[in-house]
Structure 1
Amino acid sequence: MAPATLTFLGAAGTVTGSKFLLTLGDRRVLVDAGMYQGEKRWRTMNWADFPINPADIDDVVLTHAHMDHCGYLPKLVKDGFAGTVWATEGTAALAEIVLRDAGYLQERDAEHAEQHGYSKHKPVLPLYTEEDAQRALTHFRQVEYDTDVSLGGGVVCRWTRAGHILGSASVRVSTDHTAILFSGDIGRHDHPVLRPRSTPQGAPFVVVESTYGDREHPEPERAHEDFARAIRTTVAHGGQVLIPAFAVDRTEVVLQTIGEMQRDGRIPVVPIYVNSPMALNALRVYRDPAHRDELRPDLDVEELLGLPNVHETPDADSSRELMSLDGPAIIISSSGMATGGRVLHHLEEMLPDPQNTIILTGYQASGTRGRALEEGARELKLHGRYIPVNARIVRDAEFSVHADSTDLMDWLRDLEPAPETVFIVHGEEDAAAALHERIAQELGWTSAVARYGEVVVVEPRHATVHWHRRRVPPGSGQVS
């Protein structure tokens, strides 16, 4: 029988596009099916032929519902995947929102590019449609935390709470001969909304994220003071605050923080507009009693959307009205890295005015508009035009719900038994390299930074791990 192998088809050499293919006997399991975001060289791979025939994949196992972990599913189904998508209840609920919205935006962006002539493609077609997203959702099957689930063919999976977003999990995939643990995105020790993460059972092989592998989250004397100061200053000057927020996990944390600051008198009470249908739908999922056991027991769930000065903008007409809004206000809109959605229209309107402030509340991947703003861009390309950046740009790193370097090391250190090999993924070059060095220095374990297209044997050996390194150039569409 051929040895079990793991192929890195995404989130290797970059932060996004998570896709890890396990070949276990005659069964093929894809762990995560994420979209590439950020740099163009990676984004274009969303359009390339998948390295294997999607019809040959038996199962997709999801760690959580972020776009860069589940957003490729409709394309996979469109191209022939007919198997089962396994996910926790929370992930399934949020993925429905994410995928429907993604299909809608794909169609709308294609129409907009066609009408305004800023795409080189004729005709301009979406990667997938809302109908494709709906078809993908019919493949979902829900699982419980901490329960062994048989996928068939001797493959067993177990989901353990990761504390990153609602439904997020680390997933252990095992057979009679081997086991591989995928961290997914790991949450911080103290999440402001969710219960703490749990420790999964160890495995001979571990695939760990490294998004913040080279940095620690700040511990300021007063929480979110940069955020509060930016709001106070902007309101005092009659400007408006725009907060690009990740719809499925950041909006509720931002609203919770604003509510606390208003009650404590740290910021003035001004109108707050949540201009993201996806964020509003995600907030309702968080408030659903069915998911209450995932939330912190001390959390007032009603406050996630219960502030008296919060206004919803669910439709296009109410969204357009915000473009002519007069006077101080806080606008929360997605996406969090300004890669698409309604936030782009707000940026186009607000960036030229120095009285306004844009507050970035999470990780900004390389090649995204959010990263460009974070790094001091003087202009930003939006809808085919360059817009001057005169507004103030503020970064509040405290909102991140990604584990930092020490969190990641603590998660690894707690694994029992310790792994033979750790594969480092989901990080930019410096972050992945830094985590690789910490693992060697502090734990003395064998680890490697994964490369796109690399294939490794994942069967335990007592002394050393037998590696087969085969590489595929990005975009080649082939795995050898």
Structure 2
Amino acid sequence: MSTQHMTLTFLGGAGTVTGSKFLLTAGGKRILVDAGLFQGRKRLRELNWERFPTNPASLDAIVLTHAHMDHCGYLPSLVKQGFNGPVLATEGTCRLAAIVLRDAAHVQETEAADAARGGYSRHESPQPLYTTDDVERTLPLFRAVPIHEDLSLGGGTSMRLWRAGHILGSASIRIWLDGSGPDEDAVVFSGDLGRTRHPVLADREVPDGAPTVLVESTYGDREHPDVSPPHEEFADLVRRTVGRGGSVLIPAFAVDRTELVLLTIQQLMEEGRIPEGIPIWVNSPMGLAALDVYRDPAMADEIGPEFRGRDFVDLPTLREARATEASIALNNPDRPSIIVSSSGMATGGRIVHHLEHMLPDPRNAVVFTGYQAEGTRGRALVDGASELKMYGRYVPVRAEVLQDSEFSVHADASELVDWLRAMNPRPRTVHCVHGEPDSASALARRIRDELDITAVVPAMDEVVRA
């Protein structure tokens, strides 16, 4: 039995669906699990600019569950503040995080420069949170970790990764004190969990259990719809929009969601549910780079058996808008088109320029393909906004707006409970994290009712013994 103890501090992802950061003190080591950027409401975004609550140089390691911004996007800021230890993640996460972080720095630098030129920032000299140079100092710290293998973190502390089935490289993490029994001195971090079956990736796995489990709760208060035929609302919208001479704009997360959107469009065309011959534009350098990683034979073990060894995207009309000039031309396409661009919540990037030009035209349509956090442009549009502020001015919303929740690869409430139910040994305490308050609270109630396990929603900066 270990004579040491583990403590957890919730520095993000508590009472909110963004900014996941969990500080674990174990065996004299200080390990940060995830380093996510806060997104959405202004009060959350402002947290990104505050000094990190503990000295980043005192962290022994950072472990990442996956490469989405709300789990890895704060890393360069930590390096800027003094962190210089290893960043541990799967090979897939290492490769995708490099793409995500470089793009994030570029977007921030561009937006700061645009705000300075346009005079619509309240700051006299708007600055990015971090720069491309900060990212380039961060990337050499990454260390690829194989799944299903024990890794010593030093100080009598070890970790192991299991597939989470959310995006390529995503993992759940178990960290424990060496010498402890199976039901003591261990913590499991779910990361973002995929559904029971992912359309492209290998299935998610259930880690060995632990007394303390942190489980995401993004969809903790809802179930995914069981719709037949799938994506019919989306297909109908495409048919109607093309019929009236408009184009369909799809804000999509560059990592995983772009891949799923392209696969779905391909299947709808093959089934004759949307017209063939529509130009399909991917206007996201980050999305195109991520697609290359998904297609890389070196990542074959991460891909499900249906697509292993072959290209899962084969669209004859697929076009790539890599250059800025091609992106600008898509603001007014010369024929009805489908344009896939990031970011998925319309918080930044090329998608904002497209919205500015396309929202005022009632012939066009915008399709959101995933969860839209509070305070984002995507949430405003899904909630029925009649105008939207971009680049310091408001534009009218006349385009048709649809949210297709069938694209989501977040586990729903039943799938989250099933994942916990399958865990052995059985958890003693479950912390519902990475969800908005209602969602996290609903999941906690369901865990208590169905599994008879203590389940709580931690508060920001709360410290607990694991």
Q: TM-score range by the shorter chain?
A: over 0.9
CA shift digits 1:393-415 (9 cap, x unpaired): 01110000000000000000000
Q: Secondary structure at the match of 1:14?
A: coil
Q: Which runs of 5+ in 1 are unaligned?
A: 459-480
Distance 2:208 2:264 in 1: 34
Q: Could you say which residue in structure 1 is the equivalent of 2:40? A: 38
Q: Could you say which residue in structure 2 is the equivalent of 1:435? A: 443
Q: Could you say which residue in structure 1 is the equivalent of 2:168? A: 166
Q: Could you say which residue in structure 1 is the equivalent of 2:424? A: 416
1:201 aligns with 2:201: no
CA shift digits 1:15-58 (9 cap, x unpaired): 00000001124210000000000011110000000001111111
Taking the TM superposition and a 5 Å limit, the aligned residue runs for 1:8-27 are 8-27=10-29
Distance 1:337 1:451 in 2: 25
Pick aligned residue for 2:384 from 376, 383, 391: 376
Q: Could you say which residue in structure 1 is the equivalent of 2:267? A: 260
Cα 1:300/1:328, change in 2 over 3 Å: farther
1:5 aligns with 2:13: no
Q: Could you say which residue in structure 1 is the equivalent of 2:198? A: 191
User: How many residue pairs are counted as aligned between the two chains?
Assistant: 458
Once the two structures are overlaid, the 10-residue window that deviates more, 278-287 or 307-316, is 307-316
Distance 1:2 1:174 in 2: 11
Q: Which amino acid aligns with 2:250?
A: I
CA shift digits 1:221-270 (9 cap, x unpaired): 21000110000000000000000000011011110110111111100121
Q: Secondary structure at the match of 1:324?
A: coil
Q: Could you say which residue in structure 2 is the equivalent of 1:315? A: 323
Taking the TM superposition and a 5 Å limit, the aligned residue runs for 1:227-246 are 227-246=234-253
Distance 2:314 2:33 in 1: 37
Cα 1:448/1:104, change in 2 over 3 Å: same
Q: Which amino acid aligns with 2:367?
A: I
1:98 aligns with 2:100: yes
CA shift digits 1:113-155 (9 cap, x unpaired): 1000111112111100011111111100001111101111111
Distance 1:313 1:252 in 2: 16
Q: Secondary structure at the match of 2:109?
A: helix
Distance 2:88 2:79 in 1: 14
Is the CA contact 2:332–2:358 (under 8 Å) kept in the aligned structure 1? no
Is the CA contact 2:27–2:177 (under 8 Å) kept in the aligned structure 1? no
Q: Secondary structure at the match of 1:190?
A: coil
CA shift, 1:324, in A, is 2.9
Pick aligned residue for 1:359 from 357, 360, 367: 367
Q: Could you say which residue in structure 2 is the equivalent of 1:249? A: 256
Q: Could you say which residue in structure 2 is the equivalent of 1:400? A: 408
Distance 2:262 2:252 in 1: 11
Pick aligned residue for 2:459 from 426, 447, 451: 451
1:132 aligns with 2:134: yes
Q: Which amino acid aligns with 1:193?
A: V
Distance 2:157 2:314 in 1: 44
What's the TM-score once normalised by structure 2's chain length? 0.97
Q: Which runs of 5+ in 2 are unaligned?
A: none
Distance 2:408 2:262 in 1: 14
Taking the TM superposition and a 5 Å limit, the aligned residue runs for 1:281-300 are 281-299=289-307
Distance 2:293 2:213 in 1: 31
Is the CA contact 1:67–1:98 (under 8 Å) kept in the aligned structure 2? yes
Is the CA contact 2:211–2:429 (under 8 Å) kept in the aligned structure 1? yes
Is the CA contact 1:360–1:396 (under 8 Å) kept in the aligned structure 2? yes
Is the CA contact 2:295–2:311 (under 8 Å) kept in the aligned structure 1? no
CA shift digits 1:80-125 (9 cap, x unpaired): 0011000000000100100111111111111011000111112111
CA shift, 1:306, in A, is 3.1
Taking the TM superposition and a 5 Å limit, the aligned residue runs for 1:65-104 are 65-104=67-106
Distance 1:222 1:432 in 2: 31
Q: Which amino acid aligns with 1:353?
A: D
Q: Secondary structure at the match of 1:171?
A: strand
Taking the TM superposition and a 5 Å limit, the aligned residue runs for 1:315-354 are 315-354=323-362
Is the CA contact 1:212–1:405 (under 8 Å) kept in the aligned structure 2? yes
Q: Secondary structure at the match of 2:39?
A: coil
Taking the TM superposition and a 5 Å limit, the aligned residue runs for 1:110-125 are 110-125=112-127
Matched residues, percent identical?
A: 59
Is the CA contact 1:32–1:61 (under 8 Å) kept in the aligned structure 2? yes
Q: Could you say which residue in structure 2 is the equivalent of 1:179? A: 186
CA shift, 1:4, in A, is 2.1
Q: Which amino acid aligns with 1:384?
A: G
Distance 1:57 1:303 in 2: 41
Distance 1:273 1:407 in 2: 34
